[in-house]
Chains A and B, each alone.
Chain A
């Protein structure tokens, strides 16, 4: 362990005032729109998620009221279809994912020993995209145009022919808008865990929660892109009649199912991992011991991340896939139970080795065990092909998925909320209420869903709104409905308990659970800046609260008036530089409004106005770069006696650079999903081969070659520009690169004009989509070129200062690679 000498102790109150001036949100309503602080944004994410949870819960009660009797005369079919579709969509996209994002945003810097997330403005942007998109989706229900095709939106039911109204567009556009927040969170979480840990905290000794969230973020980076691509393709088909899923023109509805479940199954583990992280954090502390098998749990997390991408086909066992392929996916589905079992037994073993204390979070953990184990085992049953054919799409599956999601997500999350509530509110709970809420939820849940297994085995399918011919289903349904109400009361009481604790609880003392992790090494409630000075190996756990508050750790106070946090080397945790983070700004909310204007115009069907939304977004995004550079060299910053580190403007491997890499992983997965679509449709879909190409080959080849060549020249120009960044030549090279970048875009416009009509056949639509993907990236790459050119002309380059050039180079290389690959695919199609 590398020791860093402590800083001189100062007066804690003085430090607090100095830091709070810099880190606190603006007062009042203005603060709501301008805050970028992870504490504020994380809590807001969680609170909003619980509001959507309440809305989804009311919808669930409507469903149970409808099914309580076999006549079901309460809602008509159309409304019932909207209600169950919205229940699933809200719980999945507006509750579960945002809640875990909120927990991660709020908790990660605290548990890792940092002052904020890596990209504070991105946190705020994600929040507003979530708020605006989620509100739109919910409002559609009020206007009676909510999505009504089931939460997985199978085509052809969701295409323009069978859903002519705006209902499906609300889902596709609304969810994609909300997913911007998921992608933003995934990038942020990855970078924060890799680069913003406490000094000399190696990856191999991070708190387990960080490992879980790293796994979650990695899965989000790879799991969400197929859904995002699928939604874009389906919206293109609905809006412009590009036939990706239309069998009569070379499309295939099965493509949607593959893309959806490529996301949909990892999604289950995306939800489960943070919840399991909370369990692994809480169980050892409340058992007065340490976790059993840290290494095995990390291996299990990595195993889950890997295996969960090999199971998506098990949602499609009944679509007519060869039995040997089914066997492969069946085996993978069963195998994924192994890492889960390893964790379960590690937790039980931990409790066996310690002394369990039945505090409130532990009750929820017991609720988790009582629910999730059964849900997991019915999952293994469903992984078996013969049984799946029998139970698929019955109430049995409904029961199974609620056992897994409520058991594996809601119970651990409720444990986490009660666990961290003293740090959030600074107050201790009022005893009695929480226990009553737990028992109501637990009994209500099992009363509702245990019997639903039986209802399913009796043959009741999902999603019917009435069952006049099946009196035998009535009693079990009535039981489910009655207990559903009990469960709803439990959740209401839980919410009431939280409010009571916030308002009337007595003040909590520091570290009330005697937890070892760094999140408790701060006064309660957590201050806006988290740590007055940042932890070192010397002050590496919850006992360091006083030395850290007195400024004996790293980077004490805010003497320069900047929001500063430490950035470390990804693997070892060696301190590398100091990041200067953004302060309160309204830029994120305006950017979200600009993005929202695009989605809103698309939703309104004003397709010719929608590009205005893109232009507005580009204008807003351009302004993000304003604080990303400095016009002169800055002196190194005193971090500790004998340890001076440069600010991030003088480094190449900044947080933003790591963030670019994480983003490109996700972006590359979007492209890979598009290539999957090309391959799948060419091989599997009927109505292939496509009709002969109608365009003129020679001009098209010429334009393609010109685009690729000028793009290749940009890579060279950017490299030269970075090489001579201190000299006047840099401006020449950035300008040359910018011009070549624009030229490549113009060539692409020419290509677009020469393409076959995308409405003719899915092959032509896919080519247009490939070109569209390349063009979008061309625009972003050109924006980066413009930024780099501006940096060169405004003195933002220097011997150590590289401005936007590294990001530009990276992104442009990516653009060149995907464009060349796309061209290769089209050439291969033509030649073969």
Chain B
């Protein structure tokens, strides 16, 4: 898409270059306004919109039975609740464990101001808004550590609102999850 934007920019500028050189010519309404202004623009936009809709449908959260974790944002920290392999919930601060290679959904909440849950390498962001629960679907293909951060300004400590997402191999869950004491079940 960035390439396309670059190409169209270059193309329009080249057209401008052509227009400002040379002697006066007959400028046709049909060519410039109808052809370029309407037909060309609408075609590009139509293709772009259709593809974006299609991608959007695929990545939208569906609330089906995938791994479900909770993210509670508050100034200036993230508290996560994630299922241990045995099924009981484990609470962590600023670290989120998810199994790699399968989609998971995050329930995002805030207890004070607006924050935004974002793991740049995994995909887009979703806001944490007081009084609302937002669902966000992501997937980490490979095990590893992924940096995450809030993407909505929240006050003086904003830049400290970072967390780490650890995607683990489902066959080999991390000790932090296995050794955690059993708590009450996820709601």
| Interface residues of A, Cβ cutoff 8 Å to B | 77-78, 81, 149-150, 154, 156-157, 161-162, 247-248, 252-254, 288-289, 292-293, 296, 318-320, 323, 326-327, 330-331, 334-335, 337-338, 341-346, 348-356, 366, 369-370, 373-374, 377-378, 380-381, 384-390, 392-394, 459, 461-467, 469, 685-687
Contacts and interface: CB of A to CB of B under 8 A. Distances in A.
A157 B123 CA distance: 26
A724 to B, nearest CB: 56
A77 B156 contact: yes
B153 A462 contact: yes
B2 A381 contact: yes
Contacts of B31: 349
Contact of A461 (B19, B52, B149): B149
B26 A353 contact: yes
SS of A interface (majority): helix
Contacts of A356: 19-20
Contact of A341 (B37, B49, B57, B112): B37
B123 to A, nearest CB: 7
Chain A to chain B: the 4 pairs with minimum beta-carbon distance, closest first = A389-B124, A353-B27, A247-B131, A349-B32
Contacts of B112: 156, 161-162
A393 B32 contact: no
Interface in B38-69: 38, 40-42, 45, 48-49, 52-53, 55-57, 59-60
Contacts of B152: 154, 393
Contact of B19 (A334, A349, A370, A380): A349
Contacts of B9: 373-374, 377
B56 A345 contact: no
Given A157-B154, A162-B155, 14 more contacts: A81-B153, A154-B152, A156-B114, A253-B130, A254-B129, A289-B27, A293-B29, A296-B29, A319-B134, A330-B49, A337-B41, A345-B33, A374-B9, A381-B1
Contact of A154 (B18, B23, B114, B123): B114
A689 to B, nearest CB: 15
A390 B118 CA distance: 9
B125 interface: yes
Contacts of A352: 18-19, 25, 27, 32
A344 B40 CA distance: 13
Contacts of A335: 45
B45 to A, nearest CB: 5
A374 to B, nearest CB: 5
Given A327-B56, A386-B56, A386-B59, A348 B16 contact: yes
B182 interface: no
Given A77-B157, A330-B49, A389 B125 contact: yes
Interface string B100-116: 00000000000011101
A373 B40 CA distance: 15
Nearest to B35: A345
A320 B126 CA distance: 7
Interface of B: 1-2, 5, 8-9, 12-13, 15-16, 18-20, 23-29, 31-33, 36-38, 40-42, 45, 48-49, 52-53, 55-57, 59-60, 112-114, 116, 118, 120, 123-127, 129-132, 134-135, 147, 149-159, 162
Q: Which of A350, A353, A394 has the most CB of B within 10 A?
A: A353
A464 B118 CA distance: 15
Given A253-B114, A292-B33, A390-B124, A380 B45 contact: yes
Contacts of A331: 49
A723 B90 CA distance: 80
B39 to A, nearest CB: 10
Contacts of B32: 292-293, 345-346, 348-349, 352
Contacts of A81: 153, 155-156
A150 B120 CA distance: 22
A465 B157 CA distance: 10
B45 A338 contact: yes
Contacts of B42: 338
A157 B113 CA distance: 5
B1 A384 contact: yes
Given A293-B29, A389-B123, A157 B155 contact: yes
Contacts of B12: 344, 348, 369, 373
Contacts of B5: 374, 377-378, 380-381
B129 A319 contact: yes
A162 B1 contact: no
Contacts of B150: 461
A373 B56 contact: no
B11 to A, nearest CB: 9
B125 A162 contact: no
A524 B28 CA distance: 37
B37 A346 contact: yes
Contacts of A338: 37-38, 41-42, 45
A392 B38 contact: no
Nearest to B7: A377
Contact of B56 (A77, A288, A323, A344): A323
A384 B52 contact: yes
A461 B116 CA distance: 11
B124 A386 contact: yes
Contact of A318 (B27, B45, B55, B124): B124
Q: Which of A338, A345, A385, A469 has the most CB of B within 10 A?
A: A345
Contact of B116 (A156, A161, A292, A393): A393
A553 B45 CA distance: 50
B130 A247 contact: yes
A40 B32 CA distance: 41
A334 B125 contact: no
8 contacts: A77-B159, A157-B114, A292-B32, A338-B42, A374-B9, A377-B9, A393-B152, A686-B131
Given A342-B33, A349-B19, A377-B9, A318 B52 contact: no
B2 to A, nearest CB: 7
A384 B13 contact: no
A743 to B, nearest CB: 42
A685 B131 contact: yes
A792 to B, nearest CB: 55
Nearest to B5: A377
Given A318-B124, A323-B57, A334 B129 contact: no
A330 B24 contact: no
Q: Which of B42, B60, B123, B132 has the most CB of A within 10 A?
A: B132
A289 B131 CA distance: 59
A465 B159 contact: yes
B33 A334 contact: no
A520 B64 CA distance: 68
A386 B55 contact: yes
Q: Which of A335, A346, A370, A377 has the most CB of B within 10 A?
A: A377
A133 to B, nearest CB: 24
A467 B159 contact: yes
Contact of B33 (A150, A327, A349): A349
Given A77-B156, A381-B2, A318 B125 contact: yes
Contacts of A289: 24, 27
A390 B131 contact: no
Contacts of A381: 1-2, 5
B60 A323 contact: yes
A373 to B, nearest CB: 5
Q: Which of B26, B37, B55, B113 has the most CB of A within 10 A?
A: B37
Contacts of B45: 334-335, 337-338, 380
B16 to A, nearest CB: 5
B10 to A, nearest CB: 9
A508 to B, nearest CB: 26
B37 A463 contact: no
Contact of B153 (A157, A247, A374): A157
